[in-house]
Amino acid sequence: MADTGAADQLAPLSVSETPEAKFREFLEIRGEKLTEPRRVLVRQIFDTHKHFDADELVRDVHDSGHAISRATVYRTLRLLVEAGLLRELRLTNRTAYEHDYGYPAHDHMHCTVCNRVVEFRNDEIRRIRDAVSRAHGFRPAGHRFLITGVCSACSRAHSPRRRLDLI
Amino acid sequence: MADTGAADQLAPLSVSETPEAKFREFLEIRGEKLTEPRRVLVRQIFDTHKHFDADELVRDVHDSGHAISRATVYRTLRLLVEAGLLRELRLTNRTAYEHDYGYPAHDHMHCTVCNRVVEFRNDEIRRIRDAVSRAHGFRPAGHRFLITGVCSACSRAHSPRRRLDLI
DNA sequence: GTGGCTGCAAACACTTTGCATTTTT
DNA sequence: AAAAATGCAAAGTGTTTGCAGCCAC
């Protein structure tokens, strides 16, 4: 139902390790295992999705013929966030995810009419983040900058073609 | 449980109408009514709180001797957001609220160790927001800039005194 | 008096967890 | 063989809603 994959996206970075390799590495350090369900999920996520939520991932994985339980999906998503492969986005009350590996740092514009999410890069933001942090003795680990409003398509045509539930 | 009121806050603006008056006005336009429970909630919120969540509000209202149901609290919070008196903050999966009336525009730093939220003002952010939006033909309605990291107290003393569940 | 409000409890949507079984190394 | 992961279903959270009675205008 949620076309959470519909983000206008930036070009991927080239990274040396595959997401799967990076995940295995992370798991090995913690004495945990890269199992078949986890492999399937990583593949599904990094081959197909951009922005998505747990529900959509469950659906897509089932559609491609794999029977992975909801519980495992949730558990794996948490691991992928801890591993630095995914990042949580909290535009609404359900948690959405986006790639955090092999992808440049960026921020988002969220059109509240068609729900589309557009990514953009702006280096000044990081500069401000660091300056503000320094001024407050705050040690920054990350930031989120989200612009909400109406995208060009929606303010031009007043007949939004897509009003989807999420992201 | 969640000490959601603990934000380092900016000085309030002076506004001509009271929050209650503004709420009444909003309700009147929609043919809705400013009832006693709603009055109590507005008073509680604008006298006491800064950042809070539904649960905390229920608790505080009960503590001050009023019996207002959870349902009414949720319904009123939604109205207050629609009325422009409160703004939703979505730092975690539960919804937190902050004053959006009689309070200057600002952004947040969120300490992931002690959960404290510190507010700051920076006008450059708005400038960047508008520039980025213009470049994309996006009509901005608002923005959220959140810096996550570790506050000075927590990185100094490595014995965080407060590790609360939320906000 | 009427339409909106309230409280209650039940329903929801999303996410987590306990446990017996299976899989991985 | 030991340790960890899975699936299932049940339990949690946080929030919304249907409905009978109540209240403000």
Query: Domain for residue B120, yes or no?
Result: yes
State the average pLDDT over residues A134-151.
91
**Whole domain around residue A134: which residue ranges?**
6-166
Chain B residue numbers touching A129 (CB-CB < 8 A) = 147
Q: How many domains does chain A have?
A: 1
Provide the mean pLDDT of chain A: 85
**For chain B, where are the alpha helices, taking DSSP H only?**
19-29, 36-48, 54-63, 70-82, 123-135, 152-156
Does residue A154 fall inside a structural domain?
yes
pLDDT of residue B163: 46
Q: Which nucleotide is nearest to A67 (CA to C1')?
A: D7
Query: Between chains, do A138 and B111 touch, taking CB under 8 Å as contact?
Result: yes
Q: pLDDT tens digits for A27-80?
A: 998 899 999 999 999 999 999 867 899 999 999 999 999 989 999 999 999 999
pLDDT, residue A166, reads 35
Q: Note the pLDDT tens digit of each residue in A105-142.
A: 899 998 877 777 888 999 999 999 999 999 999 999 88
Provide the pLDDT for residue B16. 66
Q: What is the mean pLDDT of chain B?
A: 84
Residue-level pLDDT at A82: 93
Structural domain contains residue B94:
yes
Task: For residue A108, count other CB atoms closer than 10 A to its CB.
Answer: 21
Distance B110 CA to D6 C1' (A): 36
Is B1 within a domain? no
Taking contacts as CB-CB distances below 8 angstroms, the residues of chain A near B147 are 129, 132-133, 138, 140, 142-143
**Beta carbon pairs, A and B, within 8 Å:** 119
Higher per-residue confidence, A101 vs A140:
A140
How distant is C1' of D25 from CA of B28, in Å?
11
**Among candidates B111, B138, B147 on the partner chain, residue whose Cβ is nearest the Cβ of A109:** B138
Q: Which among B120, B124, B148 has CB closest to A141?
A: B148
> Is B13 contained in some domain?
yes
| Cβ of B29 less than 7 A from strand C | no
Please report whether residue A116 resides in a domain: yes
Subunit contact B125:A122, Cβ cutoff 8 A:
no
Helix (H) or strand (E) holding A72: helix A70-82
Which pLDDT belongs to residue A71?
96
Among A135, A141, A155, select the one facing B150 at the smallest CB separation: A141
User: Tell me, what's the pLDDT at A14?
Assistant: 65
Residue B69 has a pLDDT of 95
Q: What is each CA distance from B92 to A88, B5, B87, B112, in whole angstroms?
A: 10, 15, 15, 11
Classify residue B118: in a domain, yes or no: yes
Element (H, E) at A141: strand A139-150
Q: What is the pLDDT of residue B158?
A: 59
Question: Under an 8 A CB cutoff, do A91 and B90 touch?
Answer: yes
**Residue B38: inside a domain:** yes
- B119 or A166, higher pLDDT: B119
Strand order in the sheet with A139-150: A7-8, A117-120, A107-111, A139-150, B139-150, B107-111, B117-120, B7-8
Res B20: pLDDT? 92
- Band (pLDDT 50/70/90 cuts) for residue A7 is low
The confidence score (pLDDT) of residue B160 equals 45
Q: Which of A120, A136, A148 sits opposite B132 (nearest CB)?
A: A120
Residues of chain B with confidence (pLDDT) below 50: 1-5, 160-167
Domain containing residue B161: CATH number? 1.10.10.10
Residue A50 pLDDT: 78
The shortest C-alpha distance from B50 to chain A (Å) reads: 20
Residues in chain A whose beta carbon is closer than 8 A to a beta carbon of chain B? 90-93, 95, 109, 111-112, 118, 120, 122, 124-125, 128-129, 132-133, 135-152, 155
- Supply angle C-alpha B133, B149, B146, rounded to 5: 25
